[in-house]
Amino acid sequence: MVQMDSSISGFVGSQVELRCQFVNSNPPVKISQVTWQKLVNGTKQNVAIANPTLGVSVLNPFKERVRFKNSAIRQRTPSLEDTTVVFNKLKLSDESTYICEYTTFPAGNRENMVNLTVYARPMIQMSLSTPSIVAGSKDLKMTVATCVSANGKPPSVITWETDLDGESNTQEIRNPDGTVTVRSDYLVVPSREIHQQLLTCISTYNDEQYTDSVTLNIQYEPELLIDGFDGNWYLNRENVQLTCLADANPPISLFQWRYLNGTMPSTAELRDDVLIFKGPVTYDIAGTYVCDATNSIGTGSASVEVIVTEFPSYPHGASQEQQPAGAIIGGAVVCGTVLLAAIMLLIVFFYRRRRKFKGDYSTKKQILGNGYSKAGNVPPHSSLPNSLTFSEESDEEKKLKLYRGSSVLGGSAQEFHNCHDSRMKAYCTGLIEDHERCRCNEQTYFYEYESEVEVSVDMVPQMDGSVISKEEWYV
């Protein structure tokens, strides 16, 4: 029997082997000839012949590319059991079915066949649809790039990798040699936003991927912005100017400045995209300025209204962007300082209160008799001997002098020190419930000011006009 592979494949330009062996010859038979044939449209075309007597012969058009692999075939007594042939520089036209036929005696003819498949790697090419793509005013999609996978066998599968919001249009073209050319166009709305965007074409062929990329070149008319006026142009400010910032493709070929309020100020100097004002700022440069910029696609314009004030609106040298930040930082510092001071005052207040006052503020005696005293309402005395008298002074001065123990108290007040008066004793007795110790030798005063008030040498005056016993207050 003749033993062969059922199929074999290779790429254009490569080398393949078509195996053919004569096996299981029992009893041994005589091989008269081996013939390789190509099956073309149902007919057989001889490729190569090996004959023990006549030798080896390779026919056109395979003569330069086909040979027998086993060198023993060329010997004077050839061995024809292995007649494998080698194809070099494989062509697409080599794809076919090949027959290996053995002519023997006395067994007759034996043959087998192999299918040869020839593949072709495609040529990947990607390009912009036109050298210059102009951004349109209408939302019409157009082809911006084309990816071609040419002369592939089998055909490629083309996909696109991009962030653009577009769509692809793909078609296949079958060539006479059996290859296929795949063409894919990418469509998108041209605009300045997609300028310099990357488009990547991915061609997948026979489980292999080939990539190619292009960067979009979208042309559009100028888009302008005037920079330089910060809203703080004031009298005598130096070094001010306006700059015309342009976004355009292709670049700007011409800049022009216009002054809408009349003739351009004499201090204005035009330098392409910059308008410089020489000298200090004056009211004469106030007004509306227009910048026009032109490229091959069109012309764009931008304007700014310059306002001149008498005084700066914020410290000179600080920009509008810096001013809010400085105000915020300054406010934060001030707030932090105030908060820290308040915390320190509270700490000192509570520390002194805890250290000095160990009693109950309800025991305080109010000099002016406003109800703070725990002694309650002492029964009024209609008349007191040797009662205190005040000169024609204000109530506050009376309180102050009494508080400080001034001479207003006079000698009459000393009569109460010894507590001989029965009313003084009765008053002291009435205070026993609220003050555990009320010594009659304490210095006590009374005066007629709507109520009776007690001031003792053992008491400490307070800021609110009351007094507290020294027993309730310590240092």
Phi, psi dihedral angles at 410 (to 5 degrees): 65, -170
Structure tokens at 192: 């300045």
Q: pLDDT band at 400, cuts 50/70/90?
A: very low
What local confidence, expressed as pLDDT, does residue 257 receive?
97
> Which residue has better confidence, 445 or 123?
123
Region 158-170: mean pLDDT is: 94
Residues 8 and 111 in one domain: yes
Region 299-310: mean pLDDT is: 97
205-239 residues labelled b (16+ CB within 10 A) or e (exposed): beeeebebebebbbbbbbebebebbeebbbeebee
How many whole angstroms separate alpha carbon 179 and alpha carbon 157? Answer: 14
Task: Look at the alpha carbons of 255, 258, 263, 266 in this order and tell me if their dihedral is positive or negative.
Answer: negative
What local confidence, expressed as pLDDT, does residue 54 receive?
87
Q: How many domains does the chain have?
A: 4
Task: Look at the alpha carbons of 434, 439, 444, 448 in this order and tell me if their dihedral is positive or negative.
Answer: positive
Q: Is residue 321 part of a domain?
A: no
CB 300 within 8 A of CB 271: no
What local confidence, expressed as pLDDT, does residue 469 receive?
63
**73 burial type by CB count under 10 A (0-12 exposed, 13-18 middle, 19+ buried):** buried
User: What Rg, from alpha-carbon coordinates, does the chain have?
Assistant: 58
The 10s digit of each residue's pLDDT in 401-416 is 444 443 333 443 333 3
What local confidence, expressed as pLDDT, does residue 346 receive?
82
Whole-number Cα distances in Å, 345 to 27, 109, 349, 351, 463? 124, 121, 6, 10, 17
Element (H, E) at 188: strand 180-188
**Mean pLDDT over each residue of the chain, to the nearest integer:** 78
Predicted confidence (pLDDT) at residue 362 exceeds the cutoff of 50: no
Percentage with pLDDT > 90 across the chain:
52
Mark which of 182, 216, 250 sits at the end of a domain: 216
By mean pLDDT, which of 54-68, 104-118, 344-358 is the weakest? 344-358
How many whole angstroms separate alpha carbon 146 and alpha carbon 427? Answer: 115
By mean pLDDT, which of 21-25, 160-164, 175-179, 431-435 is the weakest? 431-435
Residue with tokens 């910048």: 291
Residues 211 and 236 in one domain: no
What local confidence, expressed as pLDDT, does residue 413 receive?
37
Region 221-231: mean pLDDT is: 96
Q: Is residue 206 part of a domain?
A: yes
Structure tokens at 10: 């290779």
What local confidence, expressed as pLDDT, does residue 354 receive?
56
Residues 367 and 462 in one domain: yes
* Count of CB atoms situated within 10 Å of the CB of 251: 10
What local confidence, expressed as pLDDT, does residue 342 receive?
83
What local confidence, expressed as pLDDT, does residue 458 receive?
61
Question: Of the candidates 442, 430, 433, which has an alpha carbon nearest to the alpha carbon of residue 467?
Answer: 442
Structure tokens at 412: 């009459």
How many whole angstroms separate alpha carbon 413 and alpha carbon 69? Answer: 148
Region 100-108: mean pLDDT is: 88
Region 349-353: mean pLDDT is: 67
Whether the bond into 250 is cis, omega within 30 of 0: yes
Predicted confidence (pLDDT) at residue 320 exceeds the cutoff of 80: no
Predicted confidence (pLDDT) at residue 259 exceeds the cutoff of 90: yes
Residues 100 and 19 in one domain: yes
What local confidence, expressed as pLDDT, does residue 239 receive?
93
The 10s digit of each residue's pLDDT in 422-468 is 443 344 344 434 444 434 344 443 333 344 444 455 666 666 666 66
The 10s digit of each residue's pLDDT in 71-94 is 888 777 788 889 999 999 999 999
Residues 240 and 207 in one domain: no
Predicted confidence (pLDDT) at residue 367 exceeds the cutoff of 60: no
How many whole angstroms separate alpha carbon 103 and alpha carbon 378? Answer: 153
* Count of CB atoms situated within 10 Å of the CB of 25: 15
Q: Give the DSSP per-residue string, 119-172.
A: EBPPEEEEEESSS-EEPPSS---EEEEEEEEEEEBSPPEEEEE-SS--EEEEEE
Residues 33 and 68 in one domain: yes
Whole-number Cα distances in Å, 332 to 339, 340, 342? 10, 12, 15
Q: What is the CATH number of the domain that holds 143?
A: 2.60.40.10
What local confidence, expressed as pLDDT, does residue 381 receive?
43
Residues 31 and 75 in one domain: yes
Task: Look at the alpha carbons of 371, 376, 382, 384 in this order and tell me if their dihedral is positive or negative.
Answer: negative
Phi, psi dihedral angles at 25 (to 5 degrees): -85, 100
The 10s digit of each residue's pLDDT in 375-395 is 344 444 444 444 444 444 445
CB 179 within 8 A of CB 120: yes
Residues 95 and 132 in one domain: no
Residues 212 and 228 in one domain: no
Whether pTM exceeds 0.85? no
The 10s digit of each residue's pLDDT in 4-14 is 999 999 999 99
**67 burial type by CB count under 10 A (0-12 exposed, 13-18 middle, 19+ buried):** middle
Q: Which amino acid is at 466?
A: S
Q: pLDDT band at 52, cuts 50/70/90?
A: confident
Mark which of 66, 93, 119 sits at the end of a domain: 119
Mark which of 244, 274, 309 sits at the end of a domain: 309
Q: Which amino acid is at 252?
A: I
Percentage with pLDDT > 70 across the chain:
69
Range of the domain at 256: 221-309
Residues 101 and 149 in one domain: no
Structure tokens at 68: 């027998």
> Which residue has better confidence, 316 or 37?
37
